[in-house]
Structure formats: C-alpha cells, structure tokens
C-alpha cells in the first residue's frame, strides 16, 4: 500500500524482485556448499525405504575393453571461448565454485572438468610468475 492507503502494484513487483534475488543468493550458497544439507538419510522413514534395496543394479558399469582393462578417456582440449568463459565464471563465482562456473559459464564441461582446468591454469600461472 502506498501512503494514501491505496494499492500500489509497484510495491509488489519490488517485493518479488527482492525475494527472487534472495532466492538466487540462497541457491548459490547451497550449490557452493556453504549451507549444510539436512540429514534426510537419518529419518526412520528414509531408512525403512532404502533398507534391503539393491542399488548396485542402478550404478554405472565401466565399459569393457578388448583386454578387460578399463581404458582412460582422452581429454578434449578446451577451446579459446571455453577458457574465456571459464575466466568470466571465475570472476563471478570465485575459486572453488566449479559447479556454478560449469552450470552458468562453461556449460559444455562438467564441474570436475572445470576444477581440473582450474588446477592446470593456476599451476601454469604460478610457473610463469
């Protein structure tokens, strides 16, 4: 409501924008691991539900090779554009928030790949300084 007691729709839109920004910040904190995840697995209901289940059937199986040994995948080199987006993500989310950098900037790479790239990037930066 505005000062005259009438309805002001702008106040609602400001509230929505404020709540959205707070929600965005909360999600970033959760994804960055800054917020503890509740202990759902300690719930008696959850324990009863997962008890005596065979989850091994749902796990990914390694691909078999001719000699039976698992072959390591070769890395695909990062493009100049991916590296540029990595640097932008680093500026926005900071060192260590690989999930958000992967999700919001270098969508073609997994968080693990982003972390590996960062490790090599920092090693090279140290070498050249």
Residue 68, in any domain of the structure: no
Q: How far apart are CA 127 and CA 32, in angstroms?
A: 28
- Reference 110, options 80, 82, 71; nearest CA is 82
pLDDT (tens digit per residue) in 30-47: 667 676 655 554 444 444
Q: What is the CATH number of the domain that holds 98?
A: 1.10.10.60
Residue 19 corresponds to which tokens in the numbers above? Answer: 């709540």
Residue 124, in any domain of the structure: yes
Q: Is the confidence at residue 117, as pLDDT, over 70?
A: yes
Residue 69, in any domain of the structure: no
Residue 102, in any domain of the structure: yes
Residue 116, in any domain of the structure: yes
Split at pLDDT 50, 70, 90, the class of 118 is very high
Of residues 15 and 48, more confidently modeled: 15
pLDDT (tens digit per residue) in 45-86: 444 444 545 555 555 556 555 555 566 677 788 999 999 999
- Token look-up 């590296």 returns 83
Q: Which domain holds residue 99?
A: 78-129
46 and 8 in a single domain? The answer is yes
């Amino acid at each position: 409501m505005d000062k005259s007691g009438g309805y002001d729709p702008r106040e609602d839109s400001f509230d929505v924008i404020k709540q959205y920004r707070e929600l965005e910040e909360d999600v970033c904190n959760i994804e960055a691991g800054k917020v503890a995840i509740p202990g759902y697995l300690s719930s008696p209901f959850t324990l009863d539900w997962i008890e005596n289940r065979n989850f091994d059937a749902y796990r990914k199986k390694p691909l078999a090779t001719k000699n039976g040994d698992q072959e390591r995948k070769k890395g695909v080199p990062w493009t100049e554009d991916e590296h540029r987006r990595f640097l932008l993500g680093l500026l926005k989310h900071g060192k260590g928030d690989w999930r958000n950098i992967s999700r919001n900037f270098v969508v073609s790479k997994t968080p693990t790949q982003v972390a590996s790239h960062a490790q090599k990037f920092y090693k090279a930066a140290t070498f050249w300084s």
